[in-house]
Every structure is written in C-alpha cells, then in structure tokens.
Amino acid sequence: MILKAGAETGDQSIFELVDAAIPPQHLDPIKPTILQVDGVKVSSFSFGLYM
C-alpha cells in the first residue's frame, strides 16, 4: 500500500517536470514579440524559447 502510494506520487512528480511545449500554431504569432524581451533567447537544442 505504501509502495503503491509512493509510486503514484513519483509518477505525478515526473509528469509535472516534463516540459510541456506550446503548439507551434499558438507560438508563431507571438514569437516576434517574445523575442523582443531582453534575456529571451532561442534554444538551439529544443528550438524553444528560454530565459
């Protein structure tokens, strides 16, 4: 019982840590505005935005 609860909590934690990306059709219209903010760069690894 304790092991099951720990495994379920661990699974939830892993899913929360997974980076969920915005779909391209939502990001493309606002990407130029985002890139104008100081400190925001384009990540060459994931092709995403990061600060």
Q: Report pTM.
A: 0.41
Could you read off the pLDDT of 13-48 as tens digits, one per residue? 777 777 667 788 888 898 889 889 988 877 655 555
> What is the structure's pLDDT at 49?
53
Tell me what the mean pLDDT of segment 6-12 comes to. 77
Which of the four pLDDT bands, split at 50, 70 and 90, describes residue 12? Answer: confident
The predicted pLDDT at position 19 comes to 63
pLDDT of residue 51: 47
Sequence-separated (6 or more) residues with CB below 8 Å from residue 8? none
